Structure 1
Amino acid sequence: MRDTLGRGIAFMREVLAAPQKTEFRYRDLRFFLRYAKPIRRLGAASLLGTLVLVGLRAVIPLSGKVFLDYLVPGAGAPPPAFPVPLSLPTLLLAMLVLGAAVGVLGLVQTYLLVRFREEYTFGLQADLFDHVLRFPLSYFKSGQTGYLMSRISGDVGVMQYLFSQFLPQIISNVFYVAFSVVILYALSARLTVLLIVFTPLFLIANLLFLGRIRTVTYQEREREAHVSRDLQEVLAGIETVKAHAAEEREVGRVVATLRGVVRMRVRNAMLASLSGQSLLGTEFLLLLAVVWVGGQEVIEGAMTIGGFVAYIAYIVTFSAAARTFFSLPVVLQPVVTSAERLREIFGTEEEAGGLVPDAVEGRIAFEGVSFSYPDGTEVLRDVSFTVGPGEVVALVGRTGAGKTTLINLVLAYYAPTAGTVTLDSRDLADLDPRWVRGQVSVVSQDLFLFHTSVEENIRYGRPEAGREDIVAAARKAQVHDEVLGLPQGYETVVGERGMQLSTGQRQRIAVARAFLRDSTILVLDEPTSALDALTEERLQASLADLAEGRTVVLITHRTSLLALADRVYAIEDGRLVERAAAGEAA
């Protein structure tokens, strides 16, 4: 018992721990208003509908006063002037018409609100995705896909909640409170003054929880992203996991991360509950005060029974609306947290633009190039060479020597730490990296096919290509006959990462993609590593045709492919050493 009590006290201390400091400012939420600007008319129409709808709903509780004060026998209150004689059927008919109007207007307002919400979310998601895809490759190499996906989808979902439920509810309650105050003042000025005195207590009751909820919510979002990261990593490497019989180990790792999420959710729920109970306590005290003062007025004859009943009915709905309104700072904390995390992503710099030349010859030159990764690992040292149109330069060397890093410099994925890489005598640092990559066809040993058809995968580098061009490229890549043997031929879906195909088929489809793109510069990174000797021999002739008149950088361990090269370089200890002959280079 004592241990349980001790754990409970420790947990509450953890829940009520001082919040971490944050630099986020509420005015930063204005950043996200830009996505509402194109649909501001739709938002204004939805706001107007909300205003009218709340006004009609605010009138409904007055029906109780009309009935008790004017229709109940012996009420004694003189009925006000109405266009038609006041009676119970008349009152019920009026309520029926009012209810129908509220229902129809509610449908219209819901349609406008849903349209506004979806258009807003679409604009935000489209802009965010476009921004993320323009990050430098180093950003994706240093992070994990599952973590990034969780941040994008989860935080955007919270912003969608802001516009789909939270803001409409807040606006509706603000209008309702405003209408209610006017009606309440008309019913009893004295009670309304008492109501105004109590109102600030709703806000004061929440001040203790604002920073704490935001801190815990941020930690919860981060842990959720870590769970998504770990799940994506395990599923992507499922073959390795099973090959090492590591299922239990990976389950344990994910469960440990998930346990942290559960703990943060419990803390968050407790803070929200404490905040809610504070508001309910304030609401109960207000109701007691109104009953005490209002009851005295009824006894003294200063207020009718119908007016008192109507006032109590308004107080109940007013308190609920006020509770929602004054809980705004607390409920807004998850939104603020997600907005902060999205601002971090939007604040990440995109790849810089640059010059876009009218034409390209394809002459690549490395001049004293050195490169080190951020952790200080030096990969290339003082590398200099030139390859021009119609030339094939082959690179050989042990795994990890820096051959792929050199290719990444050609593709402007990274910038040299020293020296320059030029294209047609222009420094790559001055050129638009997207334009540079548009001049290069790449066949990489890191094969990736999209979860779509064979045809769409070949067409990826040239979206406007027709079927005849795709078939021609597949023939040159020595894969056409095998594609025809697939269940739906070129329409066959290759599966995630192309796993429905063999490694050799995936590699040749990647080669076909390069044939189809027909770029000035060609990068071949182990283009035949997954092929048997016979298929490689047939493909080599096609590669020779593809290299004709182009600038070609070839990375290979296959001696037979070195026959395509005009020059062969070896990378040794980060330096470039020219090999005189293919046999020696091997």
Structure 2
Amino acid sequence: MDNAQSSWQALLRLLRYARGYRRRIAAAVACSTVNKLFDIAPEILIGIAIDVVVNREDSFVASLGLTEPGQQIAALAVLTFFIWAGESLFEYAYMLLWRNLAQRLQADLRQDAYEHLQRQEMAFFERRSTGDLVAVLNDDVNQLERFLDGGANDLVQVLVTVLAVGGVFFLLSPLIALLAFTPVPLIVWGAFFFQRRAAPRYNAVRAQVGALANRLANNIGGMATIKSFTAEGREAERLRAESEAYVAANRQAIAVSSAFIPVIRMAILSGFLLTFTVGGFQVLNGQLNVGAYGVLVFLTQRLLWPLTGLAQTIDLFERAMASTRRILDLMAIPVGAAAGGDRRLPEPVRGEVSFETVTFRYPESGAGVAGVSLHLPAGRTLALVGATGSGKSTLVKLLLRFQVPDAGRILIDGVPVETLTLDSLRGAIGLVSQDVFLFEGSIRDNIAYGRPDADDADIERAARQAEAWEFIERLPHGLDTAVGERGVRLSGGQRQRLSLARALLKDPPILVLDEATSAVDNETEAAIQRSLAHLSHDRTVIVIAHRLSTIVGADEIVVLEAGRIAERGDHASLLARNGLYAAQWRVQTGGAAEMEAHSAAR
């Protein structure tokens, strides 16, 4: 697609998005127009003043009824005052309108883009880099704001200048009008020529912004790993390479945009010289009034010199349209099949879960599950075990509709999950994962995340159930203690207990523990196990665990291998079978003696 066409199409897409702002845009354009008309009026008044001084009673103003030269000058002075006052008033008005429009539009655009992102399925975020998404929502939106702050007004005023000044020129001297406007087509052609050359370069700049943001986000998030491997120098060099690539991309765009002004300046000079010389000879020959000549000379500058700023305006425009394309393209990505239905779970939710011949494969790796059928009665505990990549976490993602099955279906209380609203589905499930995410804020804010209206008594009760209250009480600020970004000010075990408290405060009928104790110490694991033993009553619990000692009491244990069910049963029956589960039990516990005891008991 032609880049110039692409930029204008991006502008049209933006205008379609901003149709709710049409009145504000129209008001801003009107104020810019009136301001520019007032702005060019003083040059006309100067020519009229020269005409008054030279021709006195025979001047243009005299023909309007003011025959005395003194009266003419006084009238021009009063008119000049009101013109300057009007220009100032409408300059204030257009700046207010354009800048407030820029702020409102960028805020709404960012909000709409973010809300659209939130509706995407989790697979979308696995494909896209965080840094690139942040760059779109932040830097690209800000780039559009910068254009609306000044560039939009400049475009309007350049157009008004050409039309208004052109009308005065043709009224006073069609010949000089043609001569003065001779370079205008060249200037406009040059603007679009440079725009076409600049557009792909600014696309590259915006892409490099995303890459640079992604590098920064990754490095800051992985700072502990960088330091542990003493890789600071290596990562600094990688960042320098990304920064230099950004500089190089900008350099190419700057090289094009910077060449515009010198070229256009020479075109402007030719138009001014033609007006100056031809008009001067016409005055000397009596073909042109001296006042009109003054108007033409001054207006030639007023017409042509602002066109040198067209380069900067085009520069802002191209940057903004490159950003606009990225923003609107992001918002145009359709929401995947993981979007919810329109049904809600019947109250009260019992928590019965069924997987019926569920199959799902990740496109990139081919891993997943195949033909898995499970039935978990309400109030029972199901444990999923198996090697990494066997499909345990995949089943949880499918239950939460983070992913969508390729075949089969999943039901809660007999209702297919794809027919449920996501609010109803996920509101019935509490998830505690191995990778705990705490939001920057206080302990209170994080525990109450699922129930923002919870009072301190409810928060304390959930913290006690998760055996987190003891360490919270010891902190200087208690529940008001700041956890830091991603909870960095707390230990791993403390973060895990807060995550459990957060899920328990939500009080879901279905609780999912995705390896929730795999990264904690023995003391924290014992505390969490005591909590779960108490909380599993009258609640459906799905546990994914590597540590088999944590699931001995589960009602059913399912062993997955390569995405299929290899074994199922309770702890005792699986040990007696002496299969995969028993082998893993022996590795983890050295439980040969217990195995023999079970065999003897049989």
- TM-score computed with the length of structure 1 as normaliser: 0.90
Cα distance change of structure 1 residues 208 and 247 upon mapping to structure 2, 3 Å threshold: same
- Tell me the SS of whatever aligns to 2:450: coil
Q: 1:525 aligns with which of 509, 514, 518?
A: 514
Deviation, structure 1 residue 330: 6.6
Deviation, structure 1 residue 75: 11
1:353 corresponding residue in structure 2: 340
Matched, 1:161 2:146: yes
Matched, 1:140 2:125: yes
2:556 corresponding residue in structure 1: 567
Aligned mates of 1:511, 1:297 — CA distance in 2: 90
Deviation, structure 1 residue 535: 4.2
Deviation, structure 1 residue 579: 4.2
Matched, 1:50 2:32: yes
Deviation, structure 1 residue 72: 5.7
Cα distance change of structure 1 residues 227 and 454 upon mapping to structure 2, 3 Å threshold: same
CA contact (8 A) 1:445 1:526 kept: yes
Can you list the C-alpha shifts for 1:64-92, whole angstroms capped at 9, x where unaligned?
Answer: 21332213699974742366943656544
1:228 corresponding residue in structure 2: 213
CA contact (8 A) 2:147 2:316 kept: no
2:160 corresponding residue in structure 1: 175
- Tell me the SS of whatever aligns to 1:61: helix
2:228 corresponding residue in structure 1: 243
Structure 2: tracts of 5 or more residues without a match: 576-580, 586-602
Aligned mates of 1:40, 1:77 — CA distance in 2: 45
**In structure 2, what residue type is equivalent to 1:209?**
F
1:336 corresponding residue in structure 2: 321
1:508 corresponding residue in structure 2: 497
Deviation, structure 1 residue 190: 2.1
Query: Which aligned pairs between 1:57-96 and structure 2 lie closer than 5 A?
Result: 57-71=39-53, 77=59, 79-80=61-62, 81=64, 85-86=70-71, 91-96=76-81
Matched, 1:269 2:254: yes
Aligned mates of 2:5, 2:548 — CA distance in 1: 59
Out of 435-444 and 64-73, give the one that drifted further: 64-73
CA contact (8 A) 2:355 2:372 kept: yes
Deviation, structure 1 residue 267: 1.0
Cα distance change of structure 1 residues 23 and 387 upon mapping to structure 2, 3 Å threshold: farther
Aligned mates of 2:112, 2:451 — CA distance in 1: 24
Aligned mates of 1:36, 1:458 — CA distance in 2: 39
Q: 1:443 aligns with which of 425, 432, 438?
A: 432
Aligned mates of 2:531, 2:65 — CA distance in 1: 94
Cα distance change of structure 1 residues 164 and 173 upon mapping to structure 2, 3 Å threshold: same
1:114 corresponding residue in structure 2: 99
1:472 corresponding residue in structure 2: 461
2:588 corresponding residue in structure 1: none
Aligned mates of 2:209, 2:187 — CA distance in 1: 32
Deviation, structure 1 residue 370: 2.8
Matched, 1:131 2:116: yes
Matched, 1:317 2:290: no
CA contact (8 A) 1:364 1:386 kept: yes
2:571 corresponding residue in structure 1: 581
Aligned mates of 2:119, 2:244 — CA distance in 1: 34
Aligned mates of 2:314, 2:464 — CA distance in 1: 64
Matched, 1:389 2:378: yes
CA contact (8 A) 1:380 1:574 kept: yes
CA contact (8 A) 1:174 1:321 kept: no
Cα distance change of structure 1 residues 538 and 330 upon mapping to structure 2, 3 Å threshold: closer
**In structure 1, what residue type is equivalent to 2:512?**
V
Out of 437-446 and 347-356, give the one that drifted further: 347-356
Q: 2:480 aligns with which of 464, 487, 491?
A: 491
CA contact (8 A) 1:35 1:123 kept: no
Deviation, structure 1 residue 459: 0.8
Can you list the C-alpha shifts for 1:224-270, whole angstroms capped at 9, x where unaligned?
Answer: 21111111111110111111111111111121222221111111111
Deviation, structure 1 residue 438: 1.9
Aligned mates of 2:46, 2:5 — CA distance in 1: 51
Aligned mates of 2:502, 2:42 — CA distance in 1: 68
1:41 corresponding residue in structure 2: 23
Structure 1: tracts of 5 or more residues without a match: 1-18
CA contact (8 A) 1:448 1:497 kept: yes
2:591 corresponding residue in structure 1: none
Aligned mates of 1:100, 1:361 — CA distance in 2: 73
Matched, 1:552 2:541: yes
- Tell me the SS of whatever aligns to 2:384: strand
- TM-score computed with the length of structure 2 as normaliser: 0.87
**In structure 2, what residue type is equivalent to 1:353?**
G
Query: Which aligned pairs between 1:270-309 and structure 2 lie closer than 5 A?
Result: 270-309=255-294
Aligned mates of 1:327, 1:159 — CA distance in 2: 14
Deviation, structure 1 residue 150: 0.9
**In structure 1, what residue type is equivalent to 2:160?**
F
Deviation, structure 1 residue 104: 3.0
Deviation, structure 1 residue 134: 1.2
Can you list the C-alpha shifts for 1:532-585, whole angstroms capped at 9, x where unaligned?
Answer: 434443433322232222221101233442134101112223222214416834
1:13 corresponding residue in structure 2: none
Q: 2:526 aligns with which of 527, 530, 537?
A: 537
Provide the identity percentage.
Answer: 28
Aligned length: 568
2:595 corresponding residue in structure 1: none
Cα distance change of structure 1 residues 23 and 195 upon mapping to structure 2, 3 Å threshold: closer
2:8 corresponding residue in structure 1: 26
Aligned mates of 1:71, 1:44 — CA distance in 2: 41
Matched, 1:205 2:190: yes
2:599 corresponding residue in structure 1: none
Cα distance change of structure 1 residues 326 and 180 upon mapping to structure 2, 3 Å threshold: farther
Cα distance change of structure 1 residues 441 and 284 upon mapping to structure 2, 3 Å threshold: same
Cα distance change of structure 1 residues 327 and 285 upon mapping to structure 2, 3 Å threshold: farther
Matched, 1:364 2:353: yes
Aligned mates of 1:174, 1:265 — CA distance in 2: 28
- Tell me the SS of whatever aligns to 2:71: coil
CA contact (8 A) 1:159 1:338 kept: yes
- Tell me the SS of whatever aligns to 1:355: coil
Cα distance change of structure 1 residues 97 and 488 upon mapping to structure 2, 3 Å threshold: same
Can you list the C-alpha shifts for 1:435-494, whole angstroms capped at 9, x where unaligned?
Answer: 322211001110110001111101111122222111111111111132122222111111
Aligned mates of 2:326, 2:495 — CA distance in 1: 38
Can you list the C-alpha shifts for 1:350-371, whole angstroms capped at 9, x where unaligned?
Answer: 1433132241432222222233
Out of 428-437 and 264-273, give the one that drifted further: 428-437
**In structure 2, what residue type is equivalent to 1:105?**
F
1:423 corresponding residue in structure 2: 412
Aligned mates of 1:20, 1:112 — CA distance in 2: 33
